[in-house]
Amino acid sequence: MQQNQSNRKSVIKICVIALSIFGLMACIAVLFPQVRLMIIDLIEQKIAHRQIYHRGVFNVLQSFAIGGICLILVFNYYMLTNSGRLRVHNVKQEIIDCLSEIDFRAFIKPVLLMSGVYLLGILTIIRANFLYLDDLERSINGVRGWYFWSRYVTEFASIFIHGDTNLTEISPLPQLLAILILSVSSVLLVYVMGNGKITTVRLLASIPLGLSPYFLECLSFKFDAPYMALSVLAGIIPFLFITRKKAFLFCSVVSLLIMCMTYQASSGIYILIVIILCFQHWNIRSKSNKEILFFMGRAAFAFCFAMFIFKAFLMKPVYSIDDSYTTNEMYPLSDMISGVLLNIKTCAMIVNQDFGVVWKTGIILVCILFITKSIRVSECNKTLAFFISIVVITLSFVLSFGVFILLICYVWPPRFLIGFGVFLAILCIYSVSDYKRIASVAVIALNWCFLVFAFSYGNAFADHARYTEFRTSILLHDLSALSPNLSGEVVQIQLENSIDYAPTIKNISKHYPVIERLIPKRLGDDFFWGTVYYLTHFNFRQCESVNGTSIDFKQLDLPVVLDSYYHTIKSDDSRILVILKH
């Protein structure tokens, strides 16, 4: 028996060494530019069937090679040396011990409850059947393209979910998966913050995690939704292993890397939970200051180490050409403080502008309840607890935006602020944890407002989709009347201005201004794929959109061929300029 085990270990060792040698040779080969060009050419011909070469892909292959060498060396240390195998065994045992202490059956009912709540919240979004932003391109071409943003987990998971490398529109399956993942996230957040205790009130208090106006944008994506939800879950899972140091450190690094490779806007969630847990332990003296500092140090090390691995070996450089979107460039050290302060100010102004009076009143009330409870349960000096609780709220708000606070961001679309929803969820869960009636009523009232807005948002989607199709139908009818010859040459078309919002959206925006940032106008000069989608959707092959290119028909003196209530069409038979009217 012992002889068989010895032979088995020898075979495994030989296989590991052989594979490692082969892997090192492959990684070293990729370091040569000629080899990288061959790989890109192979991907273009055999897999992507389109041109993908640019400097970012070329450089990221080099980073992959360096990362692969480091990974192989680390893997060999842990597999072939006694000390490495002992460390692996210890981490594995700690993970098993943590999982054995959790009663996963107790999560079933809470997950079903939150699944029902979240499903109810996005029911109108699903019913609207609205292709949102990038969904248009993916529904037309079936491309993934998440690798461009270094979201490799999303890139490969989408192949599994869609059952093919070519994406097709399979909604509402991705959104239903997102709901399930968010439900698990809410339950685990309550479990972690409540020291293992899950109650209905706390679960309902966690609603902003998935139904904040900012995460509603994520749920609007038919293709991206489950991976954005997965990034939220990845920021919470490490805290299931908080009682074991090595397991927590290992799971934190792995989970944070998964978060980075699904949706980086969730990077603040891990930090938020660390802050609130440290504050809880300090405020009620459940742990010594030394233990709290050590925990904070481990968490900070895990976060920084994961970000270093991602940036050094996995992150693909992204540069905004026209300053219309963000980059993954950090501010230089000389401008870091001023840049961070600018981002903080920008985010605060955006939240203030997006939220109506009712929401802001509810959030202020929740913050007051958070401070009041902190003072009441504090085992420390009450005055000190008051000031520290204010610092915790302020710091949590700032850090809820994660690493984006360090980046050069030209725009802040709602989905970049999803950490703010988790920030509100944490404040709400903490405030209702001792079952005070005032706190419970205030928190549930605020979350009810979020739920109601989700209904309004989905219905506004449907209204805007109908209005957009109405305007598109009129435009294509006029274009077809002007160019009835389907066998003629394809003419270039460019749109000027955009259609206005439907009256429903204008009405909602009076009290919920964020809705105008959530719903795209879609037909206009500011979104290339909107025009392409409608030309393709209505099978109008006579025109080719040049919006989003360097071509500008507005500089030409094209004759007016049609002027109606909704639009003016200028054309010289080979070029068409459509001036949309509100």
Residue 21 pLDDT level (bands cut at 50, 70, 90):
confident
Average pLDDT, the chain: 86
Residues 184-193 have a mean pLDDT of 96
Give the model's pLDDT for residue 158.
93
What count of other Cβ atoms lies within 10 Å of the Cβ of residue 11?
10
pLDDT digits (tens, 9 = 90+) for 549-560: 777 888 888 888
Instruction: Look up tokens 């709400």; give the residue.
Output: 428
CA atoms of 518 and 97, how far apart (whole Å): 44
What the block records as the tokens of 106 is: 């107790």
CA atoms of 435 and 125, how far apart (whole Å): 33
Domain ranges of the chain: 2-80, 103-435, 458-580
With 90 as the cut, is the pLDDT of residue 67 above it?
Answer: no
What the block records as the tokens of 268 is: 């603040």
Give the model's pLDDT for residue 321.
46
Distance of CA 474 to the CA centre of its chain: 36
CA atoms of 141 and 49, how far apart (whole Å): 12
Which is more confidently placed, 329 or 247? 247
Nearest to 313 by CA among 61, 72, 32, 78: 61
Helix (H) or strand (E) holding 447: helix 437-482
Radius of gyration of the chain (CA): 27
Residue 527 pLDDT level (bands cut at 50, 70, 90):
low
Residues 448-465 have a mean pLDDT of 93
Helix (H) or strand (E) holding 69: helix 55-80
pLDDT digits (tens, 9 = 90+) for 193-225: 988 899 999 999 999 999 999 999 999 999 999
Whether omega before 172 lies within 30 degrees of 0, making that bond cis, reads yes
How many percent of the chain have pLDDT more than 70? 89
pLDDT digits (tens, 9 = 90+) for 100-111: 999 999 999 999
With 70 as the cut, is the pLDDT of residue 578 above it?
Answer: yes
pLDDT digits (tens, 9 = 90+) for 302-317: 999 999 999 888 887 7
CA atoms of 15 and 235, how far apart (whole Å): 35
From residue 332, alpha-carbon distances to 82, 239, 323, 337, 410 in Å are 43, 33, 17, 9, 16
CA atoms of 427 and 400, how far apart (whole Å): 12
Residues 155-176 have a mean pLDDT of 91
What the block records as the tokens of 441 is: 């009523």
What the block records as the tokens of 261 is: 């490779």
CB 502 within 8 A of CB 463: yes
CB 533 within 8 A of CB 136: yes
Q: In this structure, which amino acid lies at residue 290?
A: K
Give the model's pLDDT for residue 11.
75
Give the model's pLDDT for residue 199.
92
Residues 225-247 have a mean pLDDT of 95
pLDDT digits (tens, 9 = 90+) for 398-442: 999 999 999 888 889 999 999 999 999 999 999 998 767 888 899
Sign of CA dihedral 360, 512, 415, 211: positive
Contacts of 16 (CB under 8 A, 6+ apart): 75, 76, 79, 80
With 90 as the cut, is the pLDDT of residue 395 above it?
Answer: yes
pLDDT digits (tens, 9 = 90+) for 466-505: 998 898 889 888 888 877 654 467 788 888 888 889 888 9
From residue 409, alpha-carbon distances to 172, 343, 350, 405, 516 in Å are 32, 8, 13, 8, 20
Contacts of 49 (CB under 8 A, 6+ apart): none
Q: What is the pTM of this model?
A: 0.91
Helix axes 528-537, 134-141, angle to 10 degrees: 40
Give the model's pLDDT for residue 426.
96
Sign of CA dihedral 267, 272, 273, 274: positive
With 70 as the cut, is the pLDDT of residue 252 above it?
Answer: yes
Residues 244-270 have a mean pLDDT of 95
Q: In this structure, which amino acid lies at residue 277?
A: L
CA atoms of 497 and 500, how far apart (whole Å): 9
pLDDT digits (tens, 9 = 90+) for 495-522: 888 888 988 899 999 889 999 999 988 8
Phi, psi of 545 (to 5 degrees): -70, 135
Nearest to 30 by CA among 56, 70, 1, 64: 64
Give the model's pLDDT for residue 486.
47
Phi/psi region, residue 171 (left: phi>0; alpha: psi -120 to 50; beta: rest), is beta
From residue 188, alpha-carbon distances to 193, 258, 357, 366, 550 in Å are 8, 17, 31, 21, 49
CA atoms of 57 and 328, how far apart (whole Å): 15
